Structure 1
Amino acid sequence: MRILLWHVHAAWTTAFLQGPHTYLVPVTAERGPYGRGRAQTYDWPASCVELTPAELAGADVDLVVLQRPEEWALAARWLRRIPGRDVPVVYVEHNTPRRDVPDSPHPMADRDDVTLVHVSHFNDLFWNAGGTRTVVIEHGICPPAAEYTGELDRVGVAINEPLRRWRVTGTDLLPRFCEVAGLDVFGIGAGRLRGLLPPGTGLYDDPPQHELHRQLARRRVYLHPMRWTSLGLSLLEAMMIGIPVVALATTEAVEAVPPQSGVLSTRVDTLVEAVRWLIKDPETATEVGSRGQAAVRARYGLDRFLAAWERLFKEVAPCMSTPSTAR
């Protein structure tokens, strides 16, 4: 099957691309938000093919995967076909609602020409989709090559655009953790925090995914201070590596981190003390990380993720041929 989707969230897309299909990703000369093409810092397979808007006009497309409301009009214009009528459509919702919670109407609410896919049960609970058909396909994680060592008695945190997203990502909480341990921040725009965090804080701006995993694996603890994100994939990746996690007990994190597999709380003081404890006790940190690793492998394995998507593909695009093998 040939699937059109935009490059929006590179980590989620990396897992999605591990299926047995051909994936068409729009690319424009400026590589802006609606034409990024292939990811530059992630290892995407050759089955992901860049196409310009002009090339999409004559492209054979079996399914469109949308992730932002404005992509509906783009798909119609670039494909010269009506999504939901001429070609099947699914819409993936990665984010929590930002306004009128818990009554927020979803942009795809009350439609019969699209299937709405939530990446977490929390999203499904809080978005009001009306009569639109919805399903939940939880994240799948490609097993990182890195292995936890915890050799550095420091805390790692991965946040994209931590300055712009400030309270959403809990960036404002970071100085409190710097009081008990050295902190290293990784992610797009991390360098913009220079001067806003205590001296000695490491800032690593958008490292390649494999390097991010390698560096995080050396830190004793992973911190997840997100207030209002659906479920940061960096949390699941850290757990998959075997890093003990300390996280705000918000949104889907309470499902992703079972008891004894990490420390969750809505009290920041509790999380600060948990970081202090794990930094000083490497043996316990390793034990907690191992339990988290087992939990995330069981729930967010790549095979389960890809199998769930294959079942949905057969429902929404019944003419698709059944693949004989999956990569």
Structure 2
Amino acid sequence: MRILLWHVHGSWTTAFVRGPHTYVVPVTPDRGPDGLGRARTFDWPDSVVEVPPERLRDQDIDVVILQRPHELALVDRWLGRRPPLVHLEHNAPHGSSPGVPDTPHPAADIPGVTLVHVTHFNRLMWDDRGTPTTVIEHGIVDPGPLWTGELPHAAVVVNEPVRRGRTTGTDLLPAFAAAAPLDVFGMRTGGLAGHLGLPPDRCRSHELTQAELHEALARRRVYVHPVRWTSLGLSLLEAMHLGMPVVALATTEVTEAVPPGAGVVSNRVDVLTDAVRDFVADPALARRTGERARAAVLARYGLSRFLDDWERLLKEVTR
């Protein structure tokens, strides 16, 4: 099967392209948002092939994975036809009028589309208006149990924390920095300590490749997930794969992803900061909790289950 999709979400796509198909990704000379091509910081197999838009009409595309509303117009313009369509929704609705519980999904207006959510929370919050809808939960390419916890620090992964502010829980970071030194990883994290009024020894920013990120996270004692409103951060699942104990807000899908014993999940900041202190002070506790986190995430978010779920759906929509 030849599957057309855009390089939109590098971590998710890294798992998806581990399937048995050929994955066609558009590439443009400027490698802009609609033609990013193959990933440069993720490990993708040779079955992911770059094709310029002007050559897509010559491709035998069996199914298209849409991820953004405007991609349907690109399909019409670049392919000149509509193969079976799947719209993959990565995000929870963001609350613009008419508000989260009543937000209609843009794919609901596409004839014949199948809508796929990555969490049950997302499916619950979007108004799909009768569109055929399912949930295929995340799968992770296992980086291995790399955790050493040798640094008595807390790790946070968030992109653009200054711009995204309360959405990513940036305003909560000073409370966590009071509990343990913070290492914040992600894109455009520079200047975060100054923005929060924190001394550099309490909040350091890092921008690393994916392979470097896993190794760096694994050296930190505990992973903190302060995000208020997101789908389900893949960095949380990756930290659990590494064998890290996790401390997270009990928002969106987190309570499903982190079972009891795999970390501390709460909407009380004092409970969360106390947990960070406990893990930093007790490496043995951190290790035991991280081992349970890894076992739980492998059972629910393993790569094989993810690929099997997608294989069943792809066969269904193309038969």
Q: TM-score interval w.r.t. the shorter chain? A: over 0.9
Give the 3-state SS of the residue equivalent to 2:168 in structure 1.
Answer: coil
Please give the alpha-carbon distance, in whole angstroms, between the structure 2 residues aligned to 1:214 and 1:75. Answer: 39
How far the C-alpha of 1:165 sits from its partner, in A, is 1.4
Write the letter of the residue equivalent to 1:249: A
Deviations 1:6-56 (A, max 9, x none): 111100000001001000111111111111111111111111111111121
1:136-285 equivalent positions in 2, closer than 5 A: 136-145=135-144, 147-197=146-196, 198=198, 199-200=200-201, 201-205=203-207, 207-285=208-286
Runs of 4+ in 1 over 3 A off after TM superposition: none
How far the C-alpha of 1:112 sits from its partner, in A, is 3.9
How far the C-alpha of 1:57 sits from its partner, in A, is 2.4
2:50 — aligned with what?
50
Give the 3-state SS of the residue equivalent to 1:195 in structure 2.
Answer: helix
Give the 3-state SS of the residue equivalent to 2:78 in structure 1.
Answer: helix
Write the letter of the residue equivalent to 1:33: P
1:74 — aligned with what?
74
2:31 — aligned with what?
31
Q: For structure 1, which segment, 172-181 or 116-125, has the greater mean C-alpha deviation from structure 2 after superposition?
A: 172-181
Please give the alpha-carbon distance, in whole angstroms, between the structure 1 residues aligned to 2:259 and 2:315. Answer: 33
Task: Tell whether 2:305 aligns with 1:298.
Answer: no
Write the letter of the residue equivalent to 2:189: A
Deviations 1:200-243 (A, max 9, x none): 222112x1111100000000000001111010000000001100
Give the 3-state SS of the residue equivalent to 1:284 in structure 2.
Answer: helix
Number of residues of Structure 1 aligned to a counterpart in Structure 2: 313
Write the letter of the residue equivalent to 1:107: P
Task: Tell whether 2:93 aligns with 1:97.
Answer: yes
Please give the alpha-carbon distance, in whole angstroms, between the structure 2 residues aligned to 1:23 and 1:146. Answer: 29
1:325 — aligned with what?
none
Give the 3-state SS of the residue equivalent to 1:128 in structure 2.
Answer: coil
- Scaled by the length of structure 2, the TM-score of the pair is 0.96
How far the C-alpha of 1:111 sits from its partner, in A, is 4.4
Deviations 1:274-306 (A, max 9, x none): 101110011001011111100000000100000
Unaligned runs of 5+ residues in structure 2 are none
Please give the alpha-carbon distance, in whole angstroms, between the structure 2 residues aligned to 1:168 and 1:288. Answer: 27
Please give the alpha-carbon distance, in whole angstroms, between the structure 1 residues aligned to 2:188 and 2:59. Answer: 35
Write the letter of the residue equivalent to 1:59: Q
Unaligned runs of 5+ residues in structure 1 are 319-327
Write the letter of the residue equivalent to 1:40: R
- Scaled by the length of structure 1, the TM-score of the pair is 0.94
Please give the alpha-carbon distance, in whole angstroms, between the structure 1 residues aligned to 2:38 and 2:159. Answer: 18
How far the C-alpha of 1:115 sits from its partner, in A, is 0.1
How far the C-alpha of 1:145 sits from its partner, in A, is 4.1
Give the 3-state SS of the residue equivalent to 1:153 in structure 2.
Answer: strand
How far the C-alpha of 1:194 sits from its partner, in A, is 4.8
The alignment yields a C-alpha RMSD, in angstroms, of 1.1
Write the letter of the residue equivalent to 1:203: S
